[in-house]
Amino acid sequence: MTLRKIKRISLLIGYAIFVTIFFPNNAYAMHIMEGFLPYNWAAFWWMAMIPFVIAGVRSIKKTVTLHPSLKMLLGMAGAFAFVLSALKIPSVTGSSSHPTGVGLGTILFGPTAMTVLGMIVLIFQALLLAHGGITTLGANTFSMGIVGPFVSYGLYKGTKKIGAPLWLSVFLAATLGDLMTYVTTALQMGLAFPSAGVVASTLKFMSIFAFTQIPLAISEGILTVMVINVLSSYSLKELQILSVFTGKELPTSKRGVKE
């Protein structure tokens, strides 16, 4: 991508801050803070995360080996997730509410690649911003880097397959991927602290953050559509390589896209 393209995309990423600050600030959600989960559950989510991370590393390695020019776009997807998920809105003790930003990277590079990017984002936030934690990294990655991306990927591919317009597929993927991240976190909290039973506790966490997380997720969906629109105008070649439009990957030389 050219410097001009990068500047335009960076402006949209920065716009995420402007969009999200206008929503209410009380919700139960993620990231789950350091030491908040019992050790058995923290270990469980770490073990559940590892296979997806291994698959994601292989996916990213394959992508950048075949198409080194996509490294910049990969970094942009990680930066997008970092900025949005760092917009921490304080909530009940041990948690917070914020966008996730995983829909964009998932649409571009697939769900397992976004698992790795999400984990890296969470590590930096835990170490630099005290947002989340290392013991809870497995749980936070599972919700934001695994469930969210896989839901986004399934919705994007499914809606495109039935002929939905690109903007609608992107919007639904980003919005519902965000919401499912928080549903997963509610379940994790309900499993760890089943004071009234797992189902009741999970529903309690879900119900409290629902009224604020729904508009937050919608705003993320709109922002992701905007970023994809910019990319479709200025980085069409990269989107074609990544099969965002075609639904199947072809060698760049067969696409008829000029350098």
How does pLDDT run across 162-180, given as a tens digit for each residue? 989 989 999 999 999 999 9
Q: What's the whole-number mean pLDDT along residues 126-148?
A: 89
How does pLDDT run across 203-245, given as a tens digit for each residue? 877 776 666 678 888 989 999 999 998 888 877 787 878 877 6
Q: Is the pLDDT of residue 15 over 80?
A: no
Residue 215 contacts residue 23 (beta carbons within 8 Å): yes
Residue 32 contacts residue 139 (beta carbons within 8 Å): yes
Neighbours of 229 (CB within 10 A): 14
Full-model pTM: 0.78
**Confidence grade of residue 11 (pLDDT, cut at 50, 70, 90):** low
Which of 23-37, 46-60, 190-204, 218-232 is predicted with the least confidence, judged by mean pLDDT?
A: 23-37
Residue 89 DSSP SS3: strand
**Confidence grade of residue 141 (pLDDT, cut at 50, 70, 90):** very high
Report pLDDT for 29: 43
Domains, the chain, in order of start with CATH, read: 3-20+31-252 (1.10.1760.20)
Report pLDDT for 42: 92
Q: Is the pLDDT of residue 68 over 50?
A: yes
Residue with tokens 């947002």, as numbered in its chain:
131
Average pLDDT of the residues of the chain: 79
Report pLDDT for 136: 92
If you ran DSSP here, which 8-state letter would residue 143 be given?
Answer: I
**Confidence grade of residue 22 (pLDDT, cut at 50, 70, 90):** very low
Report pLDDT for 203: 83
Host H or E run for residue 136: none
Q: Is the pLDDT of residue 3 over 70?
A: no
Q: What's the whole-number mean pLDDT along residues 90-115?
A: 79
Pairing of strands 96-97, 89-90: antiparallel
| CB neighbour burial string for 154-180, b if at least 16 within 10 angstroms, e if fewer | ebbeebbeeebebbebbbbbbbbbbbb
